[in-house]
Amino acid sequence: MKVPGHLVNQPERSNSAPLGRLVAIAEVARPHGVRGELRLKVYNTESDFIVRGKKVLVGWTDPKAESPPKVRAIAAVRPIEGGLLVRLEGVESRDDAEGLRGAQILVDRDELPDPEDG
């Protein structure tokens, strides 16, 4: 059984951005299939942050979480109705994916484009 806030396969930890500088760009809605794919609810469908090869932080920003967000590389991504299906390096099974249910996909605020005037 996976405990919320516990990430699988111990990827590298991120020391690059304090939690207050992280911005959630998506949330893991649920596992998809048996090979560890994740169905993501993307907060901005026009965003290009979720692409193959990109490293993102995955986890919970709640200070009470068991572990801090960890760096994961996006191994595959494809669009589906209502979101994206993503495979992350190190997430190999449905059980691994289930352990990430509700986790956020995070980026450092400095990676975001400046807001447009309007």
Residue 14 lies in a domain: no
Residue 116 lies in a domain: no
Q: Cα(109)–Cα(45) distance, rounded to whole angstroms?
A: 18
Least confident interval from 7-11, 23-27, 102-106: 7-11
Residue 13 lies in a domain: no
**How high is the pLDDT of residue 17?**
58
Residue 104 lies in a domain: yes
Residue 15 lies in a domain: no
pTM for this model (two decimals): 0.78
Pairwise pLDDT comparison (26 vs 115), residue with the higher score: 26
Q: Domain span at residue 73?
A: 21-109
**How high is the pLDDT of residue 4?**
40
Q: pLDDT tens digit string along 40-90?
A: 999 988 888 899 999 999 999 887 888 889 999 999 999 999 899 999 999
Residue 6 lies in a domain: no
Q: Is 40 exposed, middle or buried (0-12, 13-18, 19+ CB in 10 A)?
A: buried
CATH of the domain at 38: 2.40.30.60
Q: How many distinct structural domains can be found in the chain?
A: 1
Residue 53 lies in a domain: yes
